[in-house]
Amino acid sequence: MPSRDAYGDFRAALLADDPDKLYDQAPCGYLSTTSDGLVVKVNQTFLTWTGLARDDLVGQRRFAELLTVGGRMYHETHFAPMLHLQGAVREMALDVLLADGETLPVLVNAVLERAPDGTPLVVRVALFDATERRQYERELLRARRSAEAAETRALALARTLQQTLIPPEPPEIPGLDVAAVYRPAGDGAEVGGDFYDVFQVTDDDWVFVLGDVSGKGVDAAVLTSLIRYSVRGLAIRMAEPSDVLRELNSLLLARDVSRFCTLALLRLARVGAGWRLEASFGGHPPAVVLRPGARSLRFGASGFLVGVFDDVEFTTSRLVLGPGESLVLYTDGVTDAQNGDAHFGEERLMDLLEVLGPHPDSLVRGVLAEILDFQDQPRDDIAMLAVHVPTEEPPG
């Protein structure tokens, strides 16, 4: 606490401080210019900072001429217009040229004073040394730019990953029409968990896989990749779809991750004019079979999730798909599609498929269009695979 006397002395000194000193030794650079920028008055602080002589400035130089060329351009395109239209400029970052050729980063505040009739009279400019602040801000900006670049790269990576996980079109299979759709939830920036795969084991022996890996993002994508190639390897060694699922279950449990999947595995072998189907489902919605002139029916039991329980049994269901018949596999993004509290549901799907059938392309595209129309927002990925046995062999 200063003594009463010390405070009194201090006040007296302050009052004795003459205005010229307050102006000249203010802790900021201070300039007055005409409305078009010609310097008419400058304080000592500015002269000390810049090393410029008063006589070289007053009546000689415009404010813009004291700036770097880039700053001069910024002055003309931003500073001057804002000053004229807003009457003031605040915290503009500029660089002042010093007598020794160096530059001084400053923050500038300026006001334009007008006569009562609106005629611009004088511009008052205060400049604050911003050397350290500028360094800090440039570092911030660099950090921001690199964060933005990293985000862009991550987005591109997610898209690339996504592309590798989805075969663009299912292959051509003689004697079978095939179609598939895939629609990731959201804006496509994140890798979704749904996938499908169609591959050949031997002549007229094909495997269809449709799955849904829990979670999203890169971890889910890595697991999806693992599952897809494991299933390819296992399906070639093991004829029974339920055996493949059992092996896959052990494989996922052996990994130290808490992710799991649902999977529909279908093996199709050509027999005469039709195809023999063997299917096993792991926590996955059953397939829908469409028959001409009959009601559609569910095929397969949904079974246990793959990669959750140690001791699980999977079953294999069998069916022959005859000429004119179709089969549809879908992930839960279809039936779980929501509009408010209402779900799209299995009943609605079965009815819709009967209307759309039997061609695979119209089935999958028709359902997708209907779902997109139904749901208020895309909460989940949507994937579908459909096959159809044509009634007649196409010529050739």
Q: Which among 41-49, 131-139, 214-222, 295-303 is the span making contact with another protein, rule CB under 8 A? A: 131-139
> Using H for helix, E for strand and C for coil, what is the string for 129-193?
ECHHHHHHHHHHHHHHHHHHHHHHHHHHHHHHHHHHHCCCCCCCECCEEEEEEEECCCCCCCCCC
Q: What is the C-alpha to C-alpha distance for residues 286 and 63, in angstroms, rounded to an integer?
A: 78
Q: Give, as one character, the DSSP assignment of residue 392.
A: S
CA 304 to chain CA centroid, nearest Å: 33
Least distance CB 69 / another protein (angstroms) = 4
Least distance CB 100 / another protein (angstroms) = 19
Which residue type does 134 have?
A: R
Residue among 96 and 244 whose Cβ is closer to another protein = 96
Residues 43-62 that bind another protein (CB under 8 A): 62
Least distance CB 137 / another protein (angstroms) = 5
Q: Between vectors from CA 308 to CA 307 and to CA 313, what angle results, nearest 5°?
A: 80
Kind plus residue range of the DSSP H or E element containing 283: none
80 is an interface residue for another protein by CB under 8 A = yes
Could you tell me the two tokens for 251? Answer: 């494989």
Residue among 93 and 236 whose Cβ is closer to another protein = 93
85 is an interface residue for another protein by CB under 8 A = yes
Least distance CB 318 / another protein (angstroms) = 54
Q: Which among 12-20, 85-93, 161-169, 177-185 is the span making contact with another protein, rule CB under 8 A? A: 85-93
Lay out the site mask for another protein across 91-120 (x = CB under 8 A, - = otherwise).
xxxxx---------x---------------
Q: How far is CA 145 from CA 135, 140, 152, 158, 199, in A?
A: 15, 9, 10, 20, 44
Q: What is the C-alpha to C-alpha distance for residues 207 and 266, in angstroms, rounded to an integer?
A: 6
Q: Give the dihedral sign, CA 360/362/365/369.
A: negative
132 is an interface residue for another protein by CB under 8 A = no
Least distance CB 57 / another protein (angstroms) = 17
- Residues binding another protein: number (CB under 8 A): 35
6 is an interface residue for another protein by CB under 8 A = no
Which residue type does 328 have?
A: V
3-state secondary structure of 333: helix
Least distance CB 38 / another protein (angstroms) = 8
Q: What is the C-alpha to C-alpha distance for residues 203 and 244, in angstroms, rounded to an integer?
A: 20
Length in residues, the chain: 396
Kind plus residue range of the DSSP H or E element containing 328: strand 326-330
Q: What is the C-alpha to C-alpha distance for residues 234 and 264, in angstroms, rounded to an integer?
A: 14
Least distance CB 31 / another protein (angstroms) = 17
Residue among 98 and 201 whose Cβ is closer to another protein = 98
86 is an interface residue for another protein by CB under 8 A = yes
Q: Which residue has the tokens 């007008």?
A: 114
Could you tell me the two tokens for 21? Answer: 């000193």
Residue among 105 and 307 whose Cβ is closer to another protein = 105
Choosing from 6, 40, 53, 140, the residue that interacts with another protein (CB under 8 A) is 140
Residues 60-79 that bind another protein (CB under 8 A): 62, 64, 68-74, 76-78
20 is an interface residue for another protein by CB under 8 A = no
Q: Which among 130-138, 205-213, 355-363, 375-383 is the span making contact with another protein, rule CB under 8 A? A: 130-138
Residue among 89 and 305 whose Cβ is closer to another protein = 89
**Residues at the interface with another protein (CB under 8 A):** 35-37, 62, 64, 68-74, 76-78, 80-82, 84-88, 90-95, 105, 134, 137-138, 140-141
